[in-house]
Amino acid sequence: MTVREIKEKLKNADLKITPQRLAILEAIYKLNNHPTADNIIDYIKETHPSVAVGTVYKVLDALVENHLIKKVKTENNVTHYDGIIYNHHHLYCSESDRIEDYMDEELDELLEKYFSNKGIKNFNIEEIKLQINGRFKKRGGIKK
Amino acid sequence: MTVREIKEKLKNADLKITPQRLAILEAIYKLNNHPTADNIIDYIKETHPSVAVGTVYKVLDALVENHLIKKVKTENNVTHYDGIIYNHHHLYCSESDRIEDYMDEELDELLEKYFSNKGIKNFNIEEIKLQINGRFKKRGGIKK
DNA sequence: GTATGTGCAAACTTTTTGCACTTCG
DNA sequence: CGAAGTGCAAAAAGTTTGCACATAC
């Protein structure tokens, strides 16, 4: 994701292009493992030491509202953010509090087929997201 | 859910039976729509006015850890608790901010079959939860 | 120029913690 | 009796808010 592309996204969303917004979006794309507001603040403090915490939250809210990023909820009550906006699923390990993306077109097709037959009464389905809870195996884990 | 059954559950989990724990579990079963810690505190304040906030959180943690209840994540960052511990899914409508339970054994079997064949590399699956986003149809909706 | 965005600090909400005291088994 | 649980109050953690100032367009 280039700076040019990020600017384009902001423009398309009718959001003014500011250094803070660029830095925050860049941080989200670089830290592509569902950073929290805190992770983002730490990251941009190095290049933009004077960015205020309140601003980061305001910018994140604006980005979410304009569909440039998404909020991701986990079992503990800290909001994570996700720069990938097309539909995908999440693997979540509560032991390490780690979230990874999981994409599976075959699964999506299976689910679509299942629900287009069956439906849910009194409900119009727009999007189906799986949260797959479990444990990452050692080999893919974070070294201590 | 009778008091007797609740006591049995606590016993099976090797948790001591205390008035606070009984009150909190009863509250969760009565307030069966995903109460928050705050909802639970309000509820039990009437019968047990001296229960401390810290105790409620400690009890809830112990119950979650011992699988007597579950945490539920929602859009705002407040933890909700759920007395239904067998696996179930959630229907969520962002327009009305309403969450409803969705249970579907056929679906669970389908998913189990799918993932037991396919697996996910470097990940041990413990639980699969769907969040189905969409809109409740008028007939089942909340009147404005 | 003006609407929009930012910095700052204070406050708010939810949750956690430590320790003395109490209770369950 | 001893281990486990509770009450309390203080404080951590995460997030929101209001307002004066600054900036993008």
Cβ of B77 near strand D (distance < 7 A): yes
- Domain with residue A115: its CATH number is 3.30.1490
- Residue B77 near residue A78 (C-beta atoms within 8 A): yes
A142 assigned to some structural domain: no
- Domain with residue A63: its CATH number is 1.10.10.10
Report the number of distinct structural domains present in chain B. Answer: 2
- Chain A partners within 8 Å of B102 (Cβ): 120
Of B72, B52, B65, the residue nearest B15 (C-alpha)? B65
- Residues A109, A70 share a domain: no
Q: Which residue of chain B has the CA closest to A129? A: B131
Of A3, A53, A42, A58, the residue nearest A25 (C-alpha)? A3
Q: Which of B62, B82, B102 is the last residue of a domain?
A: B82
Q: Which residue of chain B has the CA closest to A125? A: B134
pTM of the model: 0.84
Q: Does residue A144 register a pLDDT over 50?
A: no
Smallest CA–C1' distance to D8, residue: B52
The model's pLDDT over A84-139, given as tens digits with 9 standing for 90+, comes to: 888 899 998 877 778 899 999 999 999 999 999 999 999 999 999 999 989 998 75
Q: Residue B27 sits in which domain range?
A: 3-82
A139 assigned to some structural domain: no
DSSP code of residue B134: E
Question: Counting Cβ atoms within 10 Å, is residue A93 exposed (0-12), middle (13-18) or buried (19+)?
Answer: buried
Q: What's the confidence (pLDDT) of residue B142?
A: 44
Which DSSP string do the residues of A68-134 spell out, in sequence order?
SSEEE--SSS--EEES--S--EEEEETTTTEEEEE--HHHHHHHHHHHHHH-BTTEEEEEEEEEEEE
R_g of chain B, CA atoms, integer Å: 18
